[in-house]
Amino acid sequence: MTPSDIEFDKQHIWHPYTSLISPLPCIGVVGAQGVKLTLDDGRQIIDGMSSWWSTIHGYNNPRLNQAAKDQIDKMSHVMFGGITHPSAVALCRRLVEMTAKPLNRVFLSDSGSVAVEVALKMAIQYWVAKGKPQKSRMLTIENGYHGDTFAAMSVCDPVNGMHELFNNVLTQQLFAKAPQVAFGEAWNEDDIKPLEALFEHHHQHAAAIILEPIVQGAGGMRMYHPNYLKAVRRLCDKYDVLLICDEIATGFGRTGKLFAYEHSDIVPDILCLGKALTGGYMSLAATITSQAIGEMVCKTDAGVFMHGPTFMGNPLACAVASESLAILQQGDWQQQVSNIEAQLKAQFAPFEQLDVVADVRVLGAIGVIELHNPVDMESITNAFVENGVWIRPFGKLVYIMPQYIMSERELKSLTSAIYNVVSQL
Ligand SMILES: *Cc1c(COP(=O)(O)O)cnc(C)c1O
């Protein structure tokens, strides 16, 4: 990329969560291979973010490339209303196989936020059909993140989310304090008390509870005790509230289980998937429920579920996603993620001695260094790039979620670079 390309970008293009008044410069990336990004000056740097949890099998993966090429020569797109096609069937067959047994009805959509909107609409329509339209509000926990569209925003953390700006238009949902007992700590029954109280007081108006199982991602990178999620399932059964697990970040092996709800041995009523679904090749998401819930959703006067994106079930995205799941079904991810977890635990341990570090957390292929103070984004990102890695912290959190294919040496380079940078803060 020429300097004038970068300048054009700065003048005319909007990036995620950025100011147009004082935009931070972007780095130009012109290629990617395996776990590395190629910068426009020819440098190669190790990507610690998997492009926001998604590129689990690495960039330019030969099998995913082939799946895309094969599909593009057959049919890039066809509408999904009244039409089906082999890649959607192949993908949904795998999704039904891989998820817990009752989850056997798949609704495809374009992005994670939309998958969440779809889940919330399903839950609301379900109660309308059951003759309890007053059950229309959502329960959730603090520190959650569920996307940037309006209904999704309404269940994001009220403080670090976007509530303040949009308060006048967001549906007021019902929040409980986030779980405090961390994954790996001794369980304490008191942890569920705030949520229990919320259920007791509000279940008559609650359609569903939505939460990220075990790992809360963009709302704080917190990892909580599996017994908490077990207790959530029990409360849902006791008070007749649907359980929506948002596994858009945690799904497909990231936490060491194929789906994070497996840590708690529970089954959600509705499951949201996205991010890694296509191995990071393109945008695709899914909302999965049971036949029984799906049938109830369709018993309103409308007679149908009221949703249908233009690009629903896009064949290109489905073909790549199906191949990505085929790679997962071969099972190497289990050893890969468990190796990454062991290495991260060992190499993150010395961080605990640093004064700037408040907490270190590792689960599966997720490593989090929580600092005492928020980082300066521009200087820390530059320092990482100079140390040969791509890491994009937010607030006090420096975190990585490597591609499952990352080698021991590459991961060592990544953790050493983080140590170099963080110990200089
Ligand atoms: C990223 C994310 C979303 C939103 O997905 P988009 O594809 O960015 O719309 C929703 N929920 C969770 C848990 C996420 O991590």
Q: What is the pLDDT of residue 160?
A: 80
Q: What is the pLDDT of residue 36?
A: 98
- pLDDT, average across residues 50-75: 98
Q: What is the pLDDT of residue 16?
A: 93
Q: CATH number of the domain that 253 lies in? A: 3.40.640.10
Q: What is the pLDDT of residue 164?
A: 79
Determine if residue 388 is left, alpha or beta; phi over 0 gives left, psi from -120 to 50 gives alpha, anything else beta: left
Is the C-alpha dihedral spanning 85, 87, 91, 97 positive or negative?
positive
Q: What is the pLDDT of residue 248?
A: 98
Q: CATH number of the domain that 11 lies in? A: 3.90.1150.10
Pairing label, strands 270-273, 242-246: parallel
Same domain, 287 and 349: no
Q: Which two tokens stand for residue 96?
A: 């039904």
Q: Of the candidates 309, 330, 351, which is a domain's last residue?
A: 330
Where does ligand 1 bind, in terms of residues with CB under 6 Å?
Answer: 111-113, 116, 145-147, 212, 217-218, 246, 248-249, 274-275
Q: Please give the backbone phi and psi of residue 371, each rounded to the nearest 5 degrees, phi first.
A: -95, 170
117-149 as b/e: b if 16+ CB within 10 A: bbbbbbbbbbbbbeeeeebbbbbbbbbbbbbbe
Residue 183 lies in a domain: yes
Residue 68 lies in a domain: no
Same domain, 165 and 265: yes
pLDDT band at 163 (very low <50, low <70, confident <90, very high): confident
Q: What is the pLDDT of residue 186?
A: 98
Same domain, 238 and 353: no
Same domain, 112 and 196: yes
Give every strand in the sheet of 389-390, ordered side by side. Answer: 29-33, 36-39, 44-47, 389-390
What is the domain extent for residue 50? 3-60+332-422
Q: What is the pLDDT of residue 109?
A: 98
Active site (annotated) includes residue 145:
yes
Residue 371 lies in a domain: yes
Same domain, 36 and 129: no
pLDDT, tens digit, 9 for 90 and up, residues 318-340: 999 999 999 999 989 999 999 99
pLDDT band at 165 (very low <50, low <70, confident <90, very high): confident
Atom of ligand 1 nearest to the CA of 249: 15
Which of the residues 47, 110, 191, 246 is marked catalytic?
A: 246
pLDDT band at 261 (very low <50, low <70, confident <90, very high): very high
Q: What is the pLDDT of residue 345?
A: 98
Please give the single-letter amino acid code of residue 236. C
Residue 262 alpha carbon to ligand 1 centre in Å? 20
Same domain, 15 and 118: no
Residue 113 alpha carbon to ligand 1 centre in Å? 6
Same domain, 194 and 47: no
Cα gap 178→161, rounded to integer Å: 14
69-102 as b/e: b if 16+ CB within 10 A: eebeeeeeeeebeeeebebbebbbebbeebbbee
Residue 74 alpha carbon to ligand 1 centre in Å? 30
Residue 40 lies in a domain: yes
For residue 310, give the H/E element and its range: none
Is the C-alpha dihedral spanning 346, 348, 349, 350 positive or negative?
positive
If you count them, how many residues does the chain have? 425
Same domain, 301 and 383: no
Residue 209 lies in a domain: yes
Cα gap 220→366, rounded to integer Å: 13
- pLDDT, average across residues 75-84: 98
Same domain, 380 and 336: yes
Q: Of the candidates 330, 353, 379, which is a domain's last residue?
A: 330
pLDDT band at 162 (very low <50, low <70, confident <90, very high): confident
Average pLDDT score, the chain: 97
- pLDDT, average across residues 362-371: 98
Cα gap 149→156, rounded to integer Å: 10
Decide if 91 contacts 326 (C-beta within 8 A): no
Q: What is the pLDDT of residue 356?
A: 98
- Closest C-alpha among 295, 222, 272, 299 to residue 111: 272
pLDDT band at 22 (very low <50, low <70, confident <90, very high): confident
Residue 114 alpha carbon to ligand 1 centre in Å? 9
Active site (annotated) includes residue 275:
yes
Q: What is the pLDDT of residue 24?
A: 85
Structurally, the chain folds into a number of domains equal to 2
Atom of ligand 1 nearest to the CA of 274: 7
Q: What is the pLDDT of residue 266?
A: 98
Which of the residues 59, 145, 224, 261 is marked catalytic?
A: 145
